[in-house]
Structure 1
Amino acid sequence: MSATAIPAAPATLHTATGREATRWVAAHCRQVPWLTVATVLTTVTGAALRVLPVLVLGRVVDGVVEGGSRSILVTLGGVMGAAALLGAVATAVSTWLIGRLGADLLARLREGAVRAVLGMPSARIEQVGRGDVLSRVGDDVAVLSKGIRTAIPTVFSAGVLVAIATVGMFGLDWRLGLAGAGALPAYALALRWYLPRSAPLYRKQRAAQADRAQVLISGLNGIDTVRAYRLEDAIREKVTHESWRVRELGIEVFRLFGRFVGRENRAEFIGLVLILVVGYALLEADAASLGEVAAAPLMFHGLFAPLGAIMFTFDEAQKSGASLVRLVGVLGEAAEDRLVGDTSVAPADTAPYPVTVEGLTFRYPDAEEPVLRDVDLTIPAGGSLALVGATGAGKSTLAALIAGIGTPQTGSVRIGSRDLADLDEAGARAVVSILTQETHVFSGPLADDLRLAAPGATDAELLDALRMAGADGWVDALPDGLDTMVGEGGERLDVTKVAQIALARLVLGRSPVVVLDESTAEAGSEGAAELERAVLAACRGRTTLLVAHRLTQAMAADRIAVLDAGRVVEHGTHDELVAAGGRYARLWRAWREGSPSAP
C-alpha cells in the first residue's frame, strides 16, 4: 500500500486576512448578544450626551441675542450640566462593557489558539519553528491584551463620538455640516495612504520578532552544543542581527506614524477653516443664527480630541490588529493538520502489536533528496529492533514516522493491521508512545506530572511505575513523596531523574508499541547504564523500536538494522552482524577499542 503524496505545508503558521479576523470577531459578538447590544447602546448614548451640551450652547447664545428670559437660560444650563454628567456616566459604563467584551473575546481567542497549537502534530510544530508558535501564543496574546485594555476601547468610543458629532453639525445647518465634511476627503486620503503601508509593516515587525525568538530558543535549547563547538559568537551575531532588524522595523513604524499624524493635522486645519468661512458667510447673509454659527466650530473642534485619541492609539490598535490576524490564523490551520483527538483506536488491553514498514520513502519539504529511501522493516509483536547508523542516516526520522509523526511520500507504516496514515495523531498516540532525549518536567507535584500519562492512576500505580523506572530510591527520599513540587521552582532533578520520570510515564501509558529515540543519550555513563536497565524493564512485553546511542543498547535488542544514507544496509541479530564483518562489525570493533567498559 502506498500513501498518497501530500503537498508541502507552509513554513509558517497561517495568518488570517483582515476580513477573516472581522468575521471571527463578529461571530463571537453574536454569541454574547446582550453584552454586545449593551456595549453599542451605552457607547452611542455617551457620545450623544457629550455632543448635546454644544447644541444646547448654541440655543443659549441665540437666547441671549434674542433677549430670552432668565428661566429659559437657567433651564438650558441645567440641561447642559445634566447631559455632561450623564454622558460621563454612560462613557464610563461603555468603557467597562467594551473591556468586558474584549476580555471575553481575548479569553476565547487565547484558549482556541493554545488548544489549536497543542493539537497540532509534532511534525507541524517542528516545521514552522517554535519561535513562530511561542510568539503567537505569547507575544501576540500580550499585545492584543494590552490593545483591548487601552487602544481598542478608545478607538471604538472615539469613532462613535466622531460619527455622532458629524450628524450634530448637519443638525445645526446642512451647509455647516457640508463645510465640516469638507475635511473628510483629507482624512480619507490620509488613511488611504497610511493603512496599506502600516498593516504589512506591522505584520513584518511581528514576524521579525518571531524570528528573533526562534534564534534565542534555538541557542538556549542547544547551549551545550553551542559551547562544545564554540559557536557563542555565531549565535550572538544571529541574535544581534535579528534584534537590529526588529529595531529598524520599529523605527520605520514610528516614522510612518509621524507622517500620518501630519496628514491628520492638515485635514483638521482644512475642516476648521471651511467651517469658519462658511459660518461667516451664512451669518453675513442672515441665513443662520449666531448660536448655530458659534456651535459649529466648537463641535468640529470637539472632534480634535477623539480624532487625536484615535491617531495616538491607532499605532497600538494596528499592533493589536496584526496580532489578531496571526491568532485567528492559528485557528484557521487546515483541519487535517490538527490533532483530532480520536482515541477510539486505543487497544482494550496491552497485547503487543507487530510493526511493519514497507517501501517507505520520506523527503522533508523543500529538500532535494529523500532522507529515507525504500525502507522495509518488521518488528514482531513484543520484539525489539535497534536502529544503528551515523548521524544523518535517517534514524530519528524513521523513528518519528513509526511513531505517527509525519506521513511518508510513498510506502506505509502499519501497527498490527492499521495503517498509521489512517489515524490522526491522537489515535497514533493510543497505540505508539515515543520517548526522546528532550524530556520536560512540568512545574507542580510529582504525582500530577506522572498522571499526564494516566489521569486515573492511583498512588500505588505511580510508585510501581517509578520502581520499574529505577526511581524509587530517590523518590522515597523526597520530603513530601509524590506530593513534592518538581520542575521550575521545585525539587532540582538531574538528567537521569528526569529520564526516569519520562520512563515512568511510558510505563503508565501502557501503549503496546514503544519508540525510544536516544532517550538515555543525555545521561552520564553510570546513569546511562542504570537507565538502560530501566528501559529494558519498562519495554518488556512491548513491541519496541530503539534508536541506539550506545552499541550496548543495540546488543540488547532482538534484532538490529543498520541505516546508511536513508537505506537499510544490514539487518540481523548482534551475533549475525558481527560475524558478517560488515558495517556494524566495524562499528562494534571501533566501539570496543574506544570504550574500556565494553564487553
Structure 2
Amino acid sequence: MSSTDTRPAPATLRTAGGGEAARWVGAHCRRMPWLSSATVLTTVAGAALQVLPVLLLGRVVDAVVEGDSRSVLVTIAVLLVSAALLGAAATAVSTYLIGRLGADLLARLREGAVRAVLGMPSARIEQVGRGDVLSRVGDDVAVLSKGIRTAIPTVFSAGVLVAIATVGMFGLDWRLGLAGAAALPAYGLALRWYLPRSAPLYRKQRVAQADRAQALISGLDGIDTVRAYRLEDSFREKVTQESWRVRDLGVEVFRFFGRFVGRENRAEFIGLVLILVAGYALLEADAATLGEVSAAPLMFHRLFTPLGAIMFTFDEAQKSGASLTRLVGVLGESADGRLVGDASVEPAKAVAYPVTVEGLTFSYPDTDEPVLTDVDLTIPAGGSLALVGATGAGKSTLAALIAGIGTPQAGSVRIGSQDLAELDEAAARGLVSILTQETHVFSGPLADDLRLAAPDATDAELMDALRTVGAGDWVEALPEGLDTMVGEGGERLDVAKVAQIALARLVLGRAPVVVLDESTAEAGSEGAAELERAVLAACVGRTTLFVAHRLTQAMAADRIAVLDAGRVVEQGTHDDLVALGGRYARLWRAWREGS
C-alpha cells in the first residue's frame, strides 16, 4: 500500500524465543559436523596453550628458589616459546573457523529469511509494513554479520578460555582454585541481573528502528502526494518522534550497560583479593610453593581477562542475539503452500479481460472503521480507469484488492468471470500484474533481472520489451548490453531507468490486467512525460487500473473514479468530471494552478 492510506499501526513479524534460536543454530551446526568439530577442537587447544605458559612461569620461580640447574630453565624457556607460538597458531585457526562457521550460518539464515518473506501472503507483508520486513532482511542481517565477525568469536573463545583457566587454577592448588572460583558467582550474579533486562531492551530498540524506517519509507514513497496536500509537517513530526524514541532507547541501553560494567569490576576485585589472601595464608602454613602462589594471580588474570572480554562484548553479542531471534522468527512465519504453485487458471494471453468490482467493503484487522465501503467499478476489457482522491481515500487499498492482495469482508473483484477470492496468489498473478513505486533492480546481469518476469524470454524478446518502454537506446549503449551488471556493484541506473526496467518486466509478463499504483511517482517531474508514454505503451491491449499520481495520468485514462473516505463519489471521463464542477474539478484546478 502507499503512504496515502489510513490504517492502524501495523503488526510485526514473529520474533523467536532464545531457546528456539539456539536450537536453530545447533541444528545447522550439526549439518556441518567436520567444521563444527574442528572449530571446537582448535578453540580448546588454543585456550590450553594460552594457559600453559602461566603454569611454566610458576615452575621457573620454583626452579630458581630450589637452585635447579640452568638446563632446567632452558628447557622451560623452550617450552614457553613453543607454547606461545602454537597457541597463537591455534587461536588464529580457531578465529578463522569460527568466522567460517558463522558466515555459513548467516548465509543460510539470510537465504531462509528472504525465502520466507517471499513465500508469505502479500496481505501479510502489507499488514506488518515494509519497515519491519526491510529492517529484518537488511538491518538485522547487518547487525548479526558484524556480531559474527567480532563479538561472537570473542565470546565463544573467551568462554572456552575461562573454563580452561579455571581448571588450571585448580591444577596449581585446589585451595587457590577455590579462591579464584569464588569470583565466578559475582560474575554470574552480574549476568543474571543483566541478561533478563537487556534482551527485551535490545529487542525494543530493534523494533523502534524498524518503526523509524517505516515512517521514513512512508514519507519518501509518497513525497509528491505529501507535498501536494501540505503534509510535510505531519510526516516530519512522525519521523522526529520515532527518531527520538530510537535515541532515548540508545541512551537507556548505554546507561544500563554502564551499571553492568560496575558489577563486573566488583567481581574482579573480589577474586583478586581472595587469591592474594589465600596465597599468603598457604605460604605462611608452608602448604604451597612460591611458584604456585605466584602463578595463581597470573592464572586469575588469564581468567578475568576473557571474562572481561565477554562482558565488554556482550553489548554487541546481545544486539546480535536480538537480531538472531528476529530473523529466526521470520522463518516461523506461516506461508501459503499454494503461493508458488501452478496457476489454477491459465488465461489466454491475447484476450483482454474486464474487471468488475461489486459491493466491495474492506477493513484492516483490529479496526471497526472500513477503509472501503460498498465500492462498485467496472473497467471494460482493454480499457483503462484512473483512481484519484485525497490522502487516505483508499486508492492504494482498492488497487491492491483488485490485484488480488487481501480479501474483502464483503463484495467481490472479478477478472472476467473469475472471482479473485477463489484463486491462490500464483493464479492471481497469472491474471493481474501490479507495479508500484517500489521498483527494484536486482544485482546481476540486466538480462537476468528482466527474465524474472519471463524466464524463457530470448534476448530479442527482452530488447523488444525495452524498446516498447523507450529503454532500447540506453540499454544498447551499455558496455555489455543485456549482459551488463546492474544493481549493487554494477552499472548505476537513475530512477527513470529503474522505472523503465520495471515496465519492461510488465511487458514481458503479459498478464491481461495491469494495476499501476503511482508507479512513476519516484521519477519526479524530470522525464515524467516520457515515463507516462512508456506506461501507456506497456499497457496497450490490457485492462488497466491507474492510481494516478499526476492528474495528467488521469486525463489519459478512458474513465476516472474519484474516491473520498473509501467511497466512489464521482465517475466519468476527464471532460465530463471537469464540467460537473465537483470534487475532481476542484482537484484539477488545484493541480493546474500548482503546475
Normalising by structure 1, report the TM-score.
Answer: 0.81
- Tell me the alpha carbon deviations over residues 459-505 of structure 1, each in whole angstroms, 9 at most, x when there is no partner: 33234334544x2786699577954888898687685x766554433
Which residue of 2 is the match for residue 209 of structure 1?
A: 209
The separation in 2 between residues aligned to 1:419 and 1:153, in whole angstroms, is: 55
C-alpha contact (below 8 Å) 1:433/1:511 kept by paired residues = yes
The 8 Å contact of residues 389 and 562 in structure 1, kept in 2 or not, is answered as yes
Other structure's SS at 2:15 match = coil
Match of 1:409 in 2: 409
Q: 2:560, 2:223 → 1: CA distance? A: 32
1:136 equivalent in structure 2? 136
User: What residue is the counterpart of 1:298 in the other structure?
Assistant: 298
Match of 1:168 in 2: 168
Question: Which residue is 2:249 aligned to?
Answer: 249
Q: What is the percent sequence identity of the aligned residues?
A: 77
CA separation in 2, counterparts of 1:291 and 1:136? 54
Aligned twin of 1:38: 38
Match of 2:507 in 1: 507
Contact 2:113–2:330 at 8 Å: present in 1 too? yes
**Alpha-carbon displacement from aligned partner over 1:57-99 (angstroms, at most 9, x marks no partner):** 3344444445545544443443333222211211111111111
Deviation at 1:457, TM superposition (A): 2.1
Matched with 1:315 is 315
Displacement, 1:119?
4.2
Alignment of 1:177 onto 2:172: no
Amino acid in the other structure paired with 1:386: L
Q: Residue type of the partner of 1:428?
A: A
Q: Which residue of 2 aligns with 1:363?
A: 363
Tell whether 2:294 aligns with 1:284.
no
Which moved further from structure 2: 393-402 or 31-40? Answer: 393-402
Looking at structure 1, the residues matched to 67 and 25 of structure 2 have their Cα atoms a distance apart, in angstroms, of 54
Aligned counterparts, 1:149-548, within 5 A: 149-228=149-228, 235-336=235-336, 340-345=339-344, 347=346, 349-350=348-349, 351-353=351-353, 355=355, 357=357, 359-375=359-375, 382-384=381-383, 386=385, 390-391=389-390, 392-415=392-415, 419-436=419-436, 439=439, 449-469=449-469, 471=470, 483=482, 501-517=501-517, 538-547=538-547
8 Å Cα contact 1:46-1:87 kept in structure 2: yes
Q: Distance in 2 between matches of 1:376 and 1:592?
A: 23
Q: Is the contact made by 2:360 and 2:376 (CA closer than 8 Å) also made in structure 1?
A: yes
Query: Are residue 22 (structure 1) and residue 22 (structure 2) matched?
Result: yes
**Counterpart contact for 2:551–2:588, Cα < 8 Å:** no
Q: SS at 1:335's partner residue?
A: coil
Contact 2:119 2:335 in 1 (8 A): no
CA distance in 2, matches of 1:593, 1:256: 57
Residues 537, 555 of structure 1: alpha-carbon distance in 2 compared, 3 angstrom cutoff? closer
CA distance in 2, matches of 1:25, 1:584: 65
Give the SS at the match of 1:224.
helix
Tell me, yes or no, if the aligned pair for 1:169 and 1:299 is still in contact at 8 Å: yes
**Which stretch of the first structure deviates more once superposed, 267-276 or 53-62?**
53-62
Q: What is the deviation of 1:18?
A: 1.7
Q: TM-score, normalised by structure 2?
A: 0.82
Preserved CA contact (<8 Å) 1:513 1:544 = yes
**Contact 2:442 2:486 (8 Å CA) reproduced:** yes
8 Å contact from structure 1 (residues 116, 330) kept in 2: yes
Task: Select between 386-395 and 52-61 the one with higher mean Cα deviation.
Answer: 386-395
C-alpha separation in 2, matches of 1:526 and 1:282: 85
CA distance in 2 between partners of 1:240 and 1:372 (Å): 30
* Root-mean-square deviation over aligned CA pairs: 4.2
Is the contact between residue 555 and residue 574 of structure 1 (CA under 8 Å) also seen in structure 2? no
Contact conserved, 1:268 with 1:304, CA < 8 A, in 2?
A: yes
1:318: how far off? 1.8
* CA distance in structure 1 between the aligned counterparts of 2:190 and 2:198, rounded to whole angstroms: 12
Deviation at residue 168 of structure 1 after TM alignment: 1.7
Larger deviation, residues 40-49 vs 317-326: 317-326
CA contact (8 A) 1:443 1:490 kept: no
- Secondary structure class of the residue paired with 1:303: helix
* Deviation (angstroms), 1:260: 1.5
Residue 200 of structure 1: how far off its partner (Å):
2.2
**AA paired with 1:182?**
A
Cα distance in 2 between the residues matched to 1:170 and 1:266: 22
Alignment length (residue pairs): 580
Deviation sequence 1:336-391 (CA, Å, 0-9, x none): 4x9942244462741445655555421023433112234466667x4546365643
Decide whether aligned partners of structure 1 residues 317 and 374 sit closer, same or farther in structure 2, where only a CA change above 3 A counts: same
* Partners of 2:187 and 2:267 within 8 A in 1: yes
CA deviation string 1:185-235 (max 9, x = no partner):
211111111112222222222233333333333343344345445555555
Q: 1:102 maps to which residue?
A: 102
**Relative to structure 1, is the Cα distance of residues 340 and 63 closer, same or farther in structure 2, using a 3 angstrom cutoff?**
farther
Answer yes or no: is the 8 Å Cα contact 1:112–1:331 preserved in 2.
Answer: yes
Shift of 1:177: 1.9
Displacement of 1:147? 1.7
Question: Residue type of the partner of 1:361?
Answer: T
Which has the higher mean CA deviation after the structures are superposed, 201-210 or 371-380? 371-380
CA 92–362 in structure 1, closer or farther in 2 if over 3 Å, else same: same
Distance 1:315 1:388 in 2: 50
SS at 1:515's partner residue?
A: strand
Structure 2 gaps of 5+ residues are 1-7
1:257 to partner: Cα distance: 1.9
Shift of 1:333: 2.3
Q: Please tell me the residue identity of whatever aligns with 2:162.
A: V
Encode CA deviations 1:373-427: one digit per residue, 9 max, x unaligned: 34466667x4546365643553432221121112223444454665534544344
Shift of 1:45: 0.9
Q: 1:217 to 1:270 in 2, by over 3 A?
A: same
The answer for the alignment partner of 1:3 in structure 2 is none
**Paired residues of 1:36 and 1:101 also in contact (CA < 8 A):** yes
CA shift, 1:532, in A, is: 7.1
After superposition, residues 86-101 of structure 1 pair within 5 angstroms as: 86-101=86-101
Deviation (angstroms), 1:113: 2.6
Equivalent-residue separation in structure 1 for 2:183 and 2:171 (angstroms): 18
Q: Distance in 2 between matches of 1:157 and 1:422?
A: 56
CA distance in 1, matches of 2:260, 2:527: 63
**What's the counterpart of residue 13 of structure 2?**
13
> How many Å separate the matches in 2 of 1:135 and 1:227?
26
Deviates more, 1:500-509 or 1:302-311: 500-509
Q: Which amino acid aligns with 2:134?
A: L
Task: Name the SS for the 1:361 alignment partner.
Answer: strand
Give the partner amino acid of 1:81. V
Q: Which moved more, 1:203-212 or 1:416-425?
A: 416-425
Gaps of 5+ in 1: 1-7
Separation of aligned partners in 2, 1:427 and 1:28: 35
> Which piece of structure 1 moves more, 285-294 or 318-327?
285-294
2:5 aligned residue:
none
